[in-house]
């Protein structure tokens, strides 16, 4: 018969309970994301020794492409290379080896989401417009977009640009903040815009267009402020007197305007050919 010493008994009592499968899955994603961030930091540090002109050019578009390229490269390296950092953290916490699994799928296909990867040369237009698949998805809603634009007095090009940025034209897209559909409406905004079924493309586009129109009116027709409020909320824009100093919002406004220029140029070309 053995008798536990007080120290042993205390150690057993405080030993952490083993993680269930759901918790392990969350932990796996967390350690892999951490490794990806670490790789991203290394890439950014190395990038400081390379002239801007060497890759993407010294311009706003070049800066955005550079950032997106580094982000996706970091994810790719972390997913496909055995750096050992994620595995070390996972084993330290669980005592098990890191499962050989990819990151969970995102809300929309990773090769189509406009803020996460660099569009491939084969699908990107000369002015960094939407990829072919994304353009086809958005084009499927042309009639609804034209109707919504006419009703609320906005250009269809602007609506398309917002859709491209928000959801890449994926009808059932859902964000981590529970924004839904083509124009990524949260439930409270959808309800205030009279949207009863946020997954219905027509209702979603009409609701998003109505809200965008309200933001334009609220900020005196200032497009930057209206787009920033669509992303971060009107209170944040009012507080900062314009685009708030959030990296996500600044990139969001820039991306919408980039797509807007593409769609406006496309409309001009279409009118010239007709």
Confidence check: pLDDT of 244 > 60:
yes
Which one has a higher pLDDT value, 221 or 4? 221
**181 and 227 share one domain:** yes
Q: Kindly report the CATH number assigned to the domain that includes residue 144.
A: 1.10.530.10
Which one has a higher pLDDT value, 163 or 61? 163
When mean pLDDT is compared across 1-15, 162-176, 242-256, the lowest value belongs to: 1-15
Confidence check: pLDDT of 25 > 80:
no
Which one has a higher pLDDT value, 125 or 222? 222
The mean pLDDT value for 123-152 works out to 82
Confidence check: pLDDT of 184 > 90:
yes
What local confidence, expressed as pLDDT, does residue 103 receive? 34
Which residue among 94, 120, 149 closes a domain? 94
Structural domains counted in the chain: 2
**141 and 76 share one domain:** no
Residue 107 lies in a domain: no
pLDDT band at residue 96 using 50, 70 and 90 as cut-offs: confident
pLDDT band at residue 253 using 50, 70 and 90 as cut-offs: very high
Residue 227 lies in a domain: yes
Which residue among 70, 94, 118 closes a domain? 94
pLDDT band at residue 45 using 50, 70 and 90 as cut-offs: low
Range of the domain at 222: 132-273
**72 and 182 share one domain:** no
Which residue among 48, 70, 94 closes a domain? 94
Residue 120 lies in a domain: no
Confidence check: pLDDT of 13 > 60:
no
Q: Sign of dihedral through CA atoms 231, 236, 240, 242?
A: positive
User: What are the structure tokens assigned to 22, written together?
Assistant: 């759901």
Residue 224 lies in a domain: yes
**146 and 90 share one domain:** no
DSSP 100: -
**The pTM is what?**
0.57
**87 and 197 share one domain:** no
Residue 268 lies in a domain: yes
Angstrom distance (rounded) from CA 188 to CA 180: 11
Confidence check: pLDDT of 216 > 90:
yes
Per annotation, catalytic residue among 66, 87, 112, 166: 166
What local confidence, expressed as pLDDT, does residue 272 receive? 79
The 10s digit of each residue's pLDDT in 61-95 is 444 455 555 555 555 555 545 566 667 777 778 77
Q: What is the dihedral of CA 121, 126, 131, 135, to 10 degrees?
A: -160
pLDDT band at residue 126 using 50, 70 and 90 as cut-offs: very low
DSSP 62: H
pLDDT band at residue 16 using 50, 70 and 90 as cut-offs: low
Is 112 designated active site?
no
Strand partners, 180: 174, 185
Residue 109 lies in a domain: no
């Amino acid at each position: 018969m053995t008798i536990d010493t007080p120290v042993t008994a205390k150690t057993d009592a405080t030993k952490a309970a083993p993680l269930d499968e759901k918790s392990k899955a969350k932990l796996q994603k967390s350690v892999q994301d951490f490794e990806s961030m670490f790789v991203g930091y290394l890439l950014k540090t190395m990038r400081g020794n390379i002239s801007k002109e060497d890759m993407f050019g010294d311009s706003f578009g070049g800066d955005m492409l550079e950032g997106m390229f580094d982000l996706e490269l970091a994810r790719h390296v972390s997913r496909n290379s055995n750096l050992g950092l994620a595995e070390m953290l996972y084993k330290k916490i669980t005592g098990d080896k890191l499962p050989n699994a990819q990151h969970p799928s995102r809300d929309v296909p990773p090769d189509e989401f406009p803020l996460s990867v660099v569009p491939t040369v084969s699908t990107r237009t000369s002015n960094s417009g939407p990829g072919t698949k994304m353009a086809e998805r958005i084009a499927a809603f042309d009639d609804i977009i034209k109707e919504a634009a006419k009703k609320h007095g906005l250009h269809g090009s602007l609506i398309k640009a917002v859709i491209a940025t928000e959801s890449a034209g994926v009808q059932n897209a859902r964000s981590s903040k529970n924004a839904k559909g083509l124009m990524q409406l949260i439930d409270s905004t959808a309800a205030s815009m009279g949207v009863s079924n946020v997954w219905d493309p027509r209702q979603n586009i009409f609701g998003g267009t109505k809200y965008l129109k309200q933001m334009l009116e609220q900020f005196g027709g200032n497009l930057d402020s209206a787009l920033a409020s669509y992303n971060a909320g009107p209170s944040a824009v009012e507080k900062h007197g314009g685009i708030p100093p959030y990296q996500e919002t600044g990139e969001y406004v820039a991306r919408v305007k980039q797509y807007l220029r593409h769609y406006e140029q496309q409309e001009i070309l279409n009118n010239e050919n007709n």
